[in-house]
Amino acid sequence: MRKIPIILLVAGSLFLMSGIAMAASSTTQTVTYAVSAINEISVSGNPAALTVSTATAGSAPNSVSDATTTYAITTNETGKKITGAINSNMPAGVTLTVSLAAPTGGTSAGATSLSTSASNLVTGITTLNESGKTITYSLSATSAAGVVSSASKTVTLTVVDGP
Amino acid sequence: MKKIFYSIIFILLAFTKAEAIDITATGSWSRTIDASDLASGAGSDLVGIYESAVNATVLTVLNTTGNSDNWRIDVRRSDSTWHGNFNIYIQRTSDGTGGGSISGGLSYIAIGTTDSQFFSGAGDRSSVNLQYKLTGMSVSIPPNTYSTTVVFTVVDVI
């Protein structure tokens, strides 16, 4: 019968030691990150002035182009596109086109006439950040346009939802 | 009678010791990442590393039996909405105050989903400041709200 208290003593001691070693209480903190939709586009600067001033006899005036500027884009969303528009329409017989080099995975619409209505310039853009993509402007005029005074247009490139 | 006496004594002692130390944590860390976090504007990626304030969390350990009552803090995380590219780290940025001791945890350790030993000490200790670091952010992370619960456990040790 004396063995019983000894067993209890040992068991109790082990239990006590176990309690000392493993006693634990916990508390918590929550760490939260919100990643917002990011759709940023910028251009490297303004192109040189485009002046239509030559022609081959018997043909329409020669168009001129500029490919000295670039754009950069960052988006963390899928299914985006770049549209382009100008602040006021071109004079009759004068056409300004723009062509954007496509970033990886995107598709360029090629040379696209600009107007006050937004036109798709690049489609199929998904989560990327790229820069140095060439912008090519071209200005053309028909003979019927006559002499057109120098003017400036503001071209707005926008990243929007789209295929 | 002796059998019953021993049983009661040891069980009472064991439970008394097991529930001695408490831990509390205050503060939190919330961060919104947007276009202002791009490394250099359009065309660049998001800054990859974000750090909280040095006192984003303040821990207190109390109800020890005295300055020689040793303990350690374990840390883990329990994800709610998380992204596999994220890694979160934690470090201790202050000793806090108390009559015992505190050591370890002064450089970042990764917070995993299982307990890791963070730092240790003895005796009651308050105002221990903790700082977080998040890595792995990029534009490839879809817009969303991500959160994880960081669990601090104080373990009473011999």
Count of domains for chain A: 1
Return the axis-axis angle of helices A3-22 and B2-18, rounded to nearest 10°.
Answer: 0
Question: Residue A5 — very low, low, confident or very high, per pLDDT cuts 50/70/90?
Answer: low
d(CA B140, CA A96): 35
Measure Cα distances from A39 to A80, A106, A123 in Å.
9, 15, 14
Collapse the DSSP code of A145 into the 3-class scheme (helix H, G, I; strand E, B; otherwise coil) and give the result: helix
Please give the angle made by the CA atoms of B15, B16 and B17, to the nearest 5 degrees.
90
- B21-156 folds as Jelly Rolls (2.60.120)
pTM: 0.81
Interface test with B, best of A25, A41, A127 (most B CBs within 10 A): A25
Closest listed residue to residue A33, CA positions, set B52, B41, B58: B52
Domain CATH for A81: 2.60.40
A101 domain residue, yes or no: yes
Residue A14 sits at the chain B interface (C-beta within 8 Å):
no
**ipTM of the predicted structure?**
0.81
For chain A positions 73-112, those within 8 Å of chain B (CB to CB) are: 73-78
Query: A132-150, pLDDT tens digit by residue?
Result: 999 999 999 999 999 999 9
Computed over every residue of chain A, the mean pLDDT equals: 90
pLDDT at A1 over 90: no
Q: Chain A: nearest CA to B37, how far in angstroms?
A: 10
Q: How would you write the pLDDT of chain B (158 residues) with one tens digit per residue?
A: 455 444 444 443 444 444 579 999 999 999 999 999 999 999 999 999 999 999 999 999 999 999 999 999 999 999 999 999 999 999 999 999 999 999 999 999 999 999 999 999 999 999 999 999 999 999 999 999 999 999 999 999 97
Residues 6+ apart with CB under 8 A from B112: B76, B77
d(CA B152, CA A138): 64
pLDDT at A163: 81
Query: Which amino acid, A109?
Result: A
In chain A, pLDDT over 90 holds for what percent of residues? Answer: 85
Domain span at A118:
39-161
A3 domain residue, yes or no: no
